Amino acid sequence: MPRILIVEDEDIIRSAVRKLLQHAGYEVADAISVEDAQEQEPESFDLIITDLRLPGAAGTEMITRAPNTPVLIMTSYASLRSAVDSMKMGAVDYIAKPFDHDEMLAAVESILSRKTAEKPKADTATDDPAPEQSDPSSIMFGQCDAMQTVFTLIRKVAPTETTVLIQGESGTGKELAARALHLLSPRANKPLISVNCAAIPESLIESELFGHEKGAFTGAVSARTGLIEAADGGSLFLDEIGELPAEAQARLLRVLQESEIRKVGSTQSRKVDVRMIAATHRNLKAMTRTGEFREDLYYRLNVMQVRIPPLRERRADILGLAQRFLERQAQKLGRPTLNLSPEAMQLLEGYRWPGNVRELENAIERASILADSDVITPAVLDLDSEDEPTNGSASPSPASPDTHAAPEGGDLSLEDYFQHYVLENQDKMSETELAHKLGISRKSLWERRQRLGIPRKKTTGNTSS
Ligand SMILES: Nc1ncnc2c1ncn2[C@@H]1O[C@H](COP(=O)(O)OP(=O)(O)OP(=O)(O)O)[C@@H](O)[C@H]1O
């Protein structure tokens, strides 16, 4: 009988998960914090399911406390990227709240069935970054002059405590640049908490970032640590900072000015030591002129600016990136290395890439699945035909990076098919099932939802935080 330990401070969720697993025949114990879990010999369990944010140490601490037990991280959808980082630290999987019961049971079954597989170890041994992460080029690809300039800047800024503002269109690699800044800093072995400000409902953003006291608002049944506090000692990556509402901007300014944080509903402040990295695809300076973004906050954030150029301004890197993604796909699909036909190379180099590197990565993923042979042809690349190729011209285009209009009439593109499929089935399928049916990972599903503007709906009756 597999034994499972649940570490969760919220009573309702802890008891719901415990009942669900007991009902499914597992032997279950629970704890409300990492310290509490420590007293229950976490090493003796077959699986640990832990919330990411807990009072005291973060849930990821369980990875080091029980290095031979798989750890499944539960997290709110808003901090999914932090969950992805948890996986880099050695968690075997993550599940986003609210999750449905089938989703949780499927995750547990799948982890227990592959438990024999070697679990990656958390890297906590040294204060220095791991050797393979000693340079931006080991984290992101870029050989053209424009990216070499970006890498030089990252190498210089990373070891300092300076706040960095990363600017660039959607999908250019801003999050990767933030990760490079963190991993090449002395904080590399402390958490990098990534928050997508656009993904959090406005009403929740302050409590997500700053935490709240018990009773601070309706539904605040217990005190909660915010993401900024969870990043104490490490770095906080605030993606889409331009979407931060005015009140949260004012609070953030205080954190930057005084290195102090005050929970919602609290009168007391506490010191935090967090390195801020922010990113946006919007023109923050222009937003200060219209009053949408605080000017004082803009200057606090914009101490150092890293601009990631759109892919159409670094065409020399397109084939190198494509090759990388092809190798990754071949490995993932267990196929021999895939190659691009000369026509496919020409198409990739000439295309305008409104969705930047993310669009290229997705095009290669799609083509690798559809290709009948080891050669990728233009037909399987299925690039948006409405987007006229520029025949290699490097002139920047003013078009919006985010628009992805569906073709009128005619055949559905894969992107349209994806959108239809998700909209039609999301009410009856879990995210795991949807991703499985679409043949992509849950992370990929989440990213596509963001890109296509169909964020995951919260359904009633689920286990929510
Ligand atoms: N230089 C690069 N080398 C390898 N992969 C890259 C590079 N740039 C981006 N990618 C990949 O492209 C995808 C998008 O990158 P990322 O999420 O960092 O972009 P972003 O600018 O933060 O996007 P958004 O603004 O939409 O959040 C990711 O899967 C990332 O791994």
Question: Is-contact 7 37, C-beta < 8 A?
Answer: yes
Distance CA 170, CA 277 (A): 16
What's the pLDDT score for residue 320? 95
Stronger pLDDT, 198 or 321, i.e. the higher one: 321
CA 360 to ligand 1: nearest atom? 12
**C-beta separation of 111 from 72 below 8 A:** yes
Distance CA 441, CA 365 (A): 11
Best substitution site from 154, 165, 176, 277 to test ligand 1's pocket, by max atoms within 8 Å of Cβ? Answer: 176
- Cα distance between residue 152 and residue 281, in whole Å: 21
**Distance between CA 357 and CA 365 in Å, rounded?**
12
By alpha-carbon position, which residue is closest to atom 15 of ligand 1? 173
CB atoms within 10 A of CB 150: 25
The CA 390 to ligand 1 mean position distance, Å, reads 23
pLDDT value of residue 410: 34
Specify the higher pLDDT residue, 459 or 197. 197
At 193 the pLDDT is 87
SS3 call for 70: coil
> Which atom of ligand 1 lies closest to the CA of 147?
1
Percent of the chain's residues with pLDDT above 90: 41
Residue 170 beta carbon below 6 angstroms from any ligand 1 atom: yes
Q: Is the model's pLDDT at 52 over the cut of 90?
A: no
Question: pTM here?
Answer: 0.64
Domain 134-310, CATH: 3.40.50.300
Model pLDDT, residue 17: 92
Three-state DSSP state, 379:
helix
- Compare 404 and 149 and report the one with higher pLDDT: 149
Cβ–ligand 1 contact at 150 (below 6 Å): no
- E-strand ranges in 89-146 read 93-97
Candidate from 137, 154, 166, 175 with most ligand 1 atoms within 8 A of CB, to mutate: 175
Q: Are 67 and 124 within 8 A, CB to CB?
A: no
* 90-104, 148-162, 422-436: range with highest mean pLDDT: 148-162
User: What is residue 199's DSSP assignment?
Assistant: G
The ligand 1 atom nearest the CA atom of 240? 25
CATH, domain range 3-113: 3.40.50.2300
DSSP 297: H
Confidence band for 114, pLDDT divided at 50, 70 and 90: low
**Which residue ranges make up each domain of the chain?**
3-113, 134-310, 314-400
Give the span between the Cα atoms of 361 and 261, in whole angstroms: 38
Q: Rounded to an integer, what distance in angstroms lies between the CA atom of residue 163 and that of residue 300?
A: 8
Q: Which of 60-64, 280-284, 448-452, 461-465 has the lowest mean pLDDT?
A: 461-465
Instruction: Report CA-CA distances (Å) from 4 to 45, 84, 114, 396, 424.
Output: 6, 22, 15, 54, 35
- Cβ–ligand 1 contact at 59 (below 6 Å): no
Complex confidence, ipTM: 0.98
Q: What is the CA radius of gyration of the chain?
A: 23
d(CA 112, CA 27): 13
Q: Among the atoms of ligand 1, which is closest to the Cα of residue 173?
A: 18
Q: Which residues pair with 53 in a beta bridge?
A: none
| pLDDT confidence bin for 187, thresholds 50/70/90 | very high
15-24, 127-136, 248-257, 364-373: segment of lowest average pLDDT: 127-136
- Pocket lining: 361 vs ligand 1, CB cutoff 6 Å: yes
Does ligand 1 lie within 6 Å of residue 136's CB atom? no
| Least confident stretch, 167-171, 192-196, 232-236, 292-296 | 192-196
Query: Which runs of E-coded beta strand occur in 92-209?
Result: 93-97, 164-167, 192-196
221 contacts: CB under 8 Å, gap ≥ 6: 10, 11, 12, 214
| Common-topology check for domains 3-113 and 134-310 | yes
- For residues 363, 321, 129, 188, the Cα torsion angle rounded to the nearest 10 degrees is -40
Beta bridge pairs of residue 365 = none
pLDDT given at position 283: 92
- What is the rounded average pLDDT for all residues in the chain? 81
Q: What is the Å distance from ligand 1's center to 171 Cα?
A: 5
- In the predicted model, what is the mean pLDDT of residues 178-205? 86
Distance (angstroms) between ligand 1 centre and the Cα of 172 equals 5
- d(CA 226, CA 212) in angstroms, rounded, equals 7
Q: Is 401 in the pocket of ligand 1 (CB under 6 A)?
A: no
Residue 81, ligand 1, Cβ within 6 A: no
**C-alpha 41 to ligand 1 mean position (Å):** 40
pLDDT, position 316? 95
Determine whether domain 314-400 maps to CATH 1.10.8.60.
yes
DSSP secondary structure string for all residues of 169-193 = -TTSSHHHHHHHHHHTSTTTTS-EE
Q: Collapse the DSSP code of 339 into the 3-class scheme (helix H, G, I; strand E, B; otherwise coil) and give the result.
A: strand
Q: Cis peptide before 98, with omega less than 30 degrees from 0? A: yes
